[in-house]
Amino acid sequence: MVDGGEPEGFGNWYDEKQGDTGDAWHRTLIDPGLFARIGTVTAGTRVLDLGCGNGYVARRLARMGAKVVGVDASDALLERARAREQAEPLGVVYHRTDASDLRMLSDRSFDLAVANMALIDFADAAGAIREVGRVLVPSGRFVCSLSHPCFDVDTRSAWQVEMALGSTTVYRKVTGYREPHSDIFPWRLPDGKVVRTVGYHRPLSWYVKELRKAGFVIVDLEEPAPAPDYVGVRVQKEWLEQIPLHLVVEARLEPGTPGPA
């Protein structure tokens, strides 16, 4: 969510940044791990994209044949997502809502839910996880990517690089890990305006416990390493090969999970 509202140009900037395939950073670092855990999506698979942004993941899944619903709290991003749907109809339906309130979606109506770098932006991520547990069918899967809670604690973490006698050692400094907290991230738009988004850190055990409470078991994890064609900040490639800054979780709703009251 943008702190202090969505300034003019925000939706266009984010939409242009992510485009139809995700920006270079997503394409070559996060998405290979995300899609590895999503696996094969067959025609008619009912997919929920939570915090869908401009909808590039939703559209990618729709092109595989999935029936996709995207939800997001940002009017500006949904406007862009709907414009893309209009330009290339793929049957993706979008709703504007807080992810912790999916009342427009029926119980047990999705096979797969995806949240790409989104739970970390939700103030009520526990509520969102509960809602995903409600709308998924038993044995339905929830695949989400996060900033790695252990190594990427917003502004409370940093690289530390030591060079000595021709060798370089990379460390990741982390503080404030245990305490759930929020932080502000400034993004500079092309016109020089600065947009601030809010992100939320929760420790790894928080995610495991909230997923368990909602009836999920974790079945797999990815800690994405840069792809060979990684085009992010060049110097970080070797560091990211050693220490992951992202985590992808694949959870499955336990078949015996009681249905909603």
Ligand X SMILES: C[S@@+](CC[C@H](N)C(=O)[O-])C[C@H]1O[C@@H](n2cnc3c(N)ncnc32)[C@H](O)[C@@H]1O
Spell out the residues 6+ positions from residue 47 whose beta carbon is closer than 8 angstroms to its own. 41, 58, 61, 66, 67, 68, 69, 110, 111, 112, 113, 114
CB of 15 to ligand X, least distance (A): 9
Q: Which residues face 217 on adjacent strands?
A: 252
Closest CA to 47 of 91, 2, 1: 91
CB of 109 to ligand X, least distance (A): 18
Is 92 among the residues that bind ligand X (CB under 6 A)? Answer: no
How do strand 110-116 and strand 46-50 relate by DSSP bridges? parallel
Among 29, 41, 62, 99, binds ligand X (CB under 6 A): 99
Closest CA to 42 of 59, 65, 62, 70: 65
CB of 254 to ligand X, least distance (A): 25
CB of 74 to ligand X, least distance (A): 3
CB of 114 to ligand X, least distance (A): 8
Q: Which residues face 95 on adjacent strands?
A: 71
- Restricted to residues 101-130, the positions that interact with ligand X (CB under 6 A) are 116-118, 121-123
Is 1 among the residues that bind ligand X (CB under 6 A)? Answer: yes
DSSP alpha helix (H) spans, the chain: 10-18, 24-25, 31-38, 56-63, 75-87, 125-135, 204-213, 236-242
Binding segment for ligand X (CB under 6 A), chosen from 50-58, 185-193, 204-212, 226-234, is: 50-58
Is 131 among the residues that bind ligand X (CB under 6 A)? Answer: no
Binding segment for ligand X (CB under 6 A), chosen from 47-55, 155-163, 174-182, 235-243, is: 47-55
Count of CA atoms in the C-beta half-sphere (13 A) of 1: 16
Q: What CA–CA distance (Å, rounded) separates 22 from 30?
A: 10
Is 51 among the residues that bind ligand X (CB under 6 A)? Answer: yes
CB of 36 to ligand X, least distance (A): 16
- Nearer CB in complex with ligand X: 29/99: 99
Tally of CB atoms within 10 A around 257? 18
Q: How many residues bind ligand X (CB under 6 A)?
A: 18
CB of 83 to ligand X, least distance (A): 15
Among 62, 66, 77, 144, binds ligand X (CB under 6 A): 77
Sheet holding 110-116, edge to edge: 93-96, 67-72, 46-50, 110-116, 136-147, 246-253, 216-222
In the DSSP assignment, the letter for residue 2 is B
Among 12, 32, 46, 98, binds ligand X (CB under 6 A): 98
By CB under 6 A, name the binding residues for ligand X: 1, 18, 51-53, 57, 72-74, 77, 98-99, 116-118, 121-123
